[in-house]
């Protein structure tokens, strides 16, 4: 049985385009006939102590009017510039993601974070907010809170950030499908082609690359 095609997606919970990428991804893989394994990867756009953005400043309303809202309307996604000011740091939320992923709810956790921020203006930098959201998707409330308070998943999150650096991720969403790199919200057809290319490359790898050595081994 063929192994699933792996799709890695680097995102940040304060990036509206990362939420908007969910729809094209789901459309691309639904009833496509190729098994895929989607892995969400963390990337902090503005890590502490770099200042985060404020919705009352000129930049955020401008980029939302020019790019976010038009794309959201085309994709049929309900999304609003959050009123949280300043925008939260996301390191703690990503530590929570590591907990959720370990308990089999990583994708559900990501989806809830996006909707909490971009549809409900919840502050993802607050531990009480994160605990309540985690409980909503079925995670153990006490265990989740203790993990964040104790920094249980801090090292794992930092290791994930080092992987992002190794892949030279500088913007989100960034997707890696086999050897194909896609930056920005993808088109479903673009994703399907990348999935098929990755599947073909893996099949060729089963045939090509074999060799014999001078010691007689093959």
Query: What pLDDT was estimated at residue 2?
Result: 72
Query: How sure is the predictor about 70, in pLDDT bands with cuts at 50, 70 and 90?
Result: very high
Q: What is the pLDDT of residue 51?
A: 97
Q: Which residue has the tokens 């057809």?
A: 189
Instruction: Answer with the residue of higher pLDDT: 108 or 215.
Output: 108
| Max intra-chain CA distance, the chain | 71
* Nearest CA-CA partner of 145 in 84, 92, 88, 90: 92
- Torsion 111-112-115-118 (CA) sign: negative
Q: What average pLDDT does this structure show over 8-16?
A: 98
* pLDDT of 37 higher than 90: yes
- Residues shown for the chain: 218
Report the alpha-carbon angle 96-131-91, nearest 5.
35
What's this model's pTM, rounded to 2 decimal places?
A: 0.90
Mean pLDDT of the region 125-140: 98
Percent composition of the chain: helix, strand, coil (DSSP 3-state, to 5): 50, 10, 40
DSSP label at residue 121: -
Distance CA 198, CA 59 (A): 38
Residue 189 has pLDDT above 90, yes or no: yes
Q: What is the mean pLDDT of the chain?
A: 94
Could you read off the pLDDT of 85-99 as tens digits, one per residue? 999 999 999 999 999
Instruction: State whether residue 187 is helix, strand or coil.
Output: coil
pLDDT over threshold 90, residue 217: no
């Amino acid at each position: 049985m063929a192994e699933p095609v792996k799709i890695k997606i680097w995102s940040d919970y304060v990036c509206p385009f990362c939420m908007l990428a969910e729809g094209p991804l789901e459309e691309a893989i639904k009833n496509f006939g190729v098994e895929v394994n989607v892995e969400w990867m963390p990337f902090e756009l503005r890590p502490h102590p770099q200042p985060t953005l404020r919705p009352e400043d000129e930049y955020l309303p401008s980029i939302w009017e020019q790019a976010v809202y038009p794309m959201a309307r085309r994709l049929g996604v309900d999304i609003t510039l959050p009123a949280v000011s300043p925008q939260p740091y996301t390191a703690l939320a990503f530590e929570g993601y590591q907990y959720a992923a370990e308990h089999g709810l990583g994708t559900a956790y990501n989806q809830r974070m996006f909707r909490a921020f971009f549809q409900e203006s919840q502050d993802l930098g607050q531990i009480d907010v994160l605990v309540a959201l985690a409980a909503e998707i079925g995670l153990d409330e006490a265990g989740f809170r203790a993990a964040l308070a104790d920094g249980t998943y801090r090292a794992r999150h930092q290791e994930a950030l080092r992987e992002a650096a190794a892949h030279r991720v500088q913007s989100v969403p960034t997707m890696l499908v086999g050897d194909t790199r896609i930056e920005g919200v993808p088109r479903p057809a673009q994703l399907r082609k990348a999935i098929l290319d990755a599947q073909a490359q893996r099949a060729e790898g089963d045939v090509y690359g074999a060799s014999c050595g001078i010691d007689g081994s093959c």
